[in-house]
Amino acid sequence: MAVTKETLDEIALSQVEYDLILERLDREPNPVELGMFGALWSEHCGYKHSRPLLRMFSQESSRVLSQTGAENAGAVDIGDGLAVVFKVESHNHPSAVEPLQGAATGVGGIVRDILAMGARPIALLNSLRFGPLDDPQNVHLFHGVVEGISWYGNCIGVPDVGGEICFDDSYSANPLVNAMCVGLIEADKIATSAASAVDSVVLLVGAGTGRDGIHGASGLASRTFEEEVELRPTVQVGNPFLEKVLIEACLEALSTGLVHAIQDLGAAGLTSAAIESANSGGRGIRLDLSQVHQREDGMSPYEVMLSESQERMLLMVAPENVDAIRAVFEKWDVTCKDIGRVVAEPVAQIGDGSNLVVDLPISPLADAPQYRLEGKPSEEHLERLNFELDSVELPEAGAQEVLLKLLSSPNIASKEGVYRQYDHQVQTNTVVGPGSDAAVLRVKGTGKAIAVSIDGNGRLCQLDPYQGGMIVVAEVCRNLTCSGALPLAMTDCLNFGSPERPDIYYQLEECIRGMAEACKVLDVPVVSGNVSLYNESRGQAIFPTPVVGGLGLLEDAGKATCSAFAGEGMVVALLGADTSEVEPYDLAGSEYLQRIHGRVEGSPRIDINFEKRVQQVCRWAIEQGRITSAHDCSEGGLAVALAECSIQGAIGFTGELPVPERWDAALFGERQSRIVVSLPEEQWAALAGLASGLGVPVTRLGYTGGDRFKLNADVDITVSEISKVWNNGLEAAGG
């Protein structure tokens, strides 16, 4: 019987893909089998358009303990017998439909990815993007997402220590909600999801299975939004209190050494968890769905297999050890059900009691087709690159008014109103919390600390995806460096529109190529990640937005450095390019150009080898105790970076900067590879020597002190005044 187009649309399969299924099976799949193919061959699970491109990323490092893509997250050796496990993942589409639950379950899902590696979750970060706050719908999405993150993270007792929030028209109706989790584990106790032990009992633990989240992977996350489609039932519903005890129960079960494999039930639910675990182990699986604990009556096998109900894990345990593991879950009052066995033959045989509803070979299910398309930049893209400084008039208002406007921009203004809703001190590891360039967490039992950061810049990638891809990796590493940490590894979440459009595929390919080049030069392998495509509605795609999460290591936690000026009478200097000359690329994609002139244009540029040297100087200076603060010069340019250092340190600044006629590009341009540092006068010669040795310019900008913020004769205002503007900017915009 021929399948209908409506059925294929529901599970996001094309007619060509359905024909391929028929060819591989040599028969028609039944509805449950077809639903499983739809889930596992979805973009979200199968990475159909991205996997060939992701091979560009380097995964090699003496510290990497995991194979990228083979497990739920990446693991990195930090010494002392310990490893850090981390990953970032998207929950964009669910958050657009139901922001609170979409964001909350995004947090829950990424935490379980870390748990599936056997690690204790120790930190959360997030990267969020919304449309402008003058639209009530965007305000609704913004507040709902923040509430969801706060509610779930605070309830499970994992600190939310950092993140970023950006606003742009391209994200209207298409918010980006990327959640990152970091875990800690003994390096020799990392768990696997590969179900390789034949005759292992398959235990389903945690919440009952309901009808929430069905088609979340194949429908919601693998196609564009249509106004007339009602998608609310595809959004999962979270229970953070259950997740908290599930974390403790799973960690205790793993500590017994009796669990062969463990897997999270996330996208595509039981289908993905069971099939991927069996495939990774080179085995098959038999399940009895009548043994699955359900919280709704009358659920069909199709619904049970495709439900994305939260707070559920699969454990594979030898038959003789089931009672011991079940006792652990009973202690924590977590339901634990025997639902099947791991079998030697690579097949998926799924019954509902005595009724066999699925009988499929594993390989075709787990091997989604891969597409290598040809990308092409749009004409509009090429036009945006043609930008000259002379096309922008200098603002009549002057530098001080421009500075105040930029400090009040929602993209630059303080996000304290958001992160004060998050508990960032629980677990008592947080050395540097939200608000600085990177968060720093002590590693208990050692003198070390880890630094973590997350960042992205859709505007720059919209203008030049290759350069933008390099820049986002460089900026994350720069954030880690400013804390004193050596960058070790990256995780990424690639947020793009429909890859079936040549211009979007071009953006995706070029961004990955740029990111891969930066990772190679900066020696930071990509150890985990996620791809979120089809982020568009009514024909309008989001800006191409690769979000990168970074992990860095400080051998001495006591040397962690913040962005705030740390005292009076300090020399303030700029590592990297000085301000005496400007180029058109200084204003490319800048907040100044967009907010003051309403334009997103230009051709951004970075010299990644120069970037590496600038960061090396900064880390050496921190390691040697030369500098007392360091702050990445990024959104808003040099003047904004200096103002933020003054505001955060509650200390004035007086500067005499070499500024050319185009003072807007010098003060507010966003040239890459620049770090604002402060240091005692007696350390100046040593810093200059370090910089000279690596061919890095270092420019004196001025001194800290007093209660006023002064730049040449152009800006003279109290620190309290700029603080008020910066602190109230998000709220004044409607946030």
Cα–Cα distance measured from residue 518 to residue 473, given in angstroms and rounded to the nearest whole number: 6
Q: Is the pLDDT of residue 217 over 80?
A: no
Average pLDDT over residues 185-190: 96
92 by DSSP, 3-state: which?
helix
d(CA 172, CA 225): 12
Return the domain boundaries, the chain.
561-735
Between the alpha carbon of residue 585 and those of residues 256, 411, 472, the distances in Å are 57, 20, 16
Interacting residues of 543 by C-beta distance below 8 A, sequence separation 6+? 168, 170, 171, 458, 459, 461, 462
Give the gyration radius of the chain's Cα atoms: 26
DSSP conformation class of 655: E
Paired residues of 76 in beta bridges: 64, 84
Which residues carry out catalysis?
44, 91
Q: In terms of Cα–Cα distance, which of 194, 231, 236 is closest to 109?
A: 236
Q: How far apart, in whole angstroms, are the C-alpha atoms of residue 587 and residue 389?
A: 8
| pLDDT of res. 305 | 97
- Please, what is the average pLDDT of the chain? 94
**Mean per-residue pLDDT for 140-153?**
96
Please compute the mean of the pLDDT values over residues 450-478 and round it to a whole number.
Answer: 97
**In the prediction, which pLDDT does 381 show?**
84
What is the average per-residue pLDDT within 710-715? 95
Residue with tokens 């997030």: 126
What local confidence, expressed as pLDDT, does residue 234 receive? 59
* Structure confidence at residue 230 as a pLDDT band (50, 70, 90): very low
- pLDDT computed for residue 227 by the predictor: 43
Q: Report the distance separating Cα 130 and Cα 467, nearest Å.
A: 23
- Residue 232 pLDDT more than 90? no
As beta bridge partners, residue 571 has: 679, 703
Does residue 231 surpass a pLDDT of 80?
Answer: no
Closest CA to 176 of 419, 458, 435, 416: 458
Coil, strand or helix at 112? helix
- 488-503 per-position pLDDT tens digit: 999 999 999 999 999 9
Rounded Cα–Cα distance for residues 274 and 29 (Å): 19
* Per-residue pLDDT at 191 exceeds 90: yes
Question: What does the pLDDT look like over 304-332, one tens digit per residue?
Answer: 999 999 999 999 999 999 999 999 999 99
**CATH architecture of the domain covering 561-735:** Alpha-Beta Complex (3.90)
Structure tokens belonging to residue 421: 């809703």
**Cβ burial, residue 20 (10 Å; 0-12/13-18/19+):** middle
Per DSSP, 123 falls in state E
**pLDDT score recorded for residue 70:** 79
Tens digits of residue pLDDT in 691-704 = 999 999 999 999 99
> Percent of the chain, pLDDT > 70?
97
Q: SS3 of 307, please?
A: coil
DSSP letters of 143-207? HHHHHHHHHHHHHHT--EEEEEEEE-GGGTT--EEEEEEEEEEEGGG-------STT-EEEEEES
638-650 CB burial, b ≥16 within 10 A, e <16: bbbbbbbbbbbbe
The alpha-helical segments, DSSP class H, found in 442-501 are: 458-463, 465-482
Structure tokens at 21: 């299924």
**Cα–Cα distance, 68 to 113 (Å, whole number):** 13
From 67-71, 161-165, 430-434, the region with the lowest mean pLDDT = 67-71
Please report the pLDDT score of residue 225 as a whole number. Answer: 53
Q: Please state, in angstroms and rounded to a whole number, the distance separating the CA atoms of residues 57 and 238.
A: 34
Q: How confident is the model at residue 379 (pLDDT cuts 50, 70, 90)?
A: confident
Which percentage of the chain shows pLDDT scores above 90? 87
- Over residues 609-631, mean pLDDT: 98
The Cα–Cα gap between 509 and 513 comes to 6
- Distance (Å, whole) CA 198 – CA 556: 46
User: Which pTM was predicted?
Assistant: 0.95
State the pLDDT confidence band at 229, using cuts at 50, 70 and 90. very low
424 neighbors 161 (Cβ within 8 angstroms): yes
For the segment 159-185, the average pLDDT, to the nearest whole number, is: 96
Distances from the Cα of 345 to the Cαs of 200, 288, 352, 359, 367, in angstroms? 13, 17, 20, 12, 17
pLDDT tens-digit map of 522-577: 999 999 999 999 999 878 999 999 999 999 999 999 999 999 999 999 999 999 98
Strand partners, 710: 654, 716
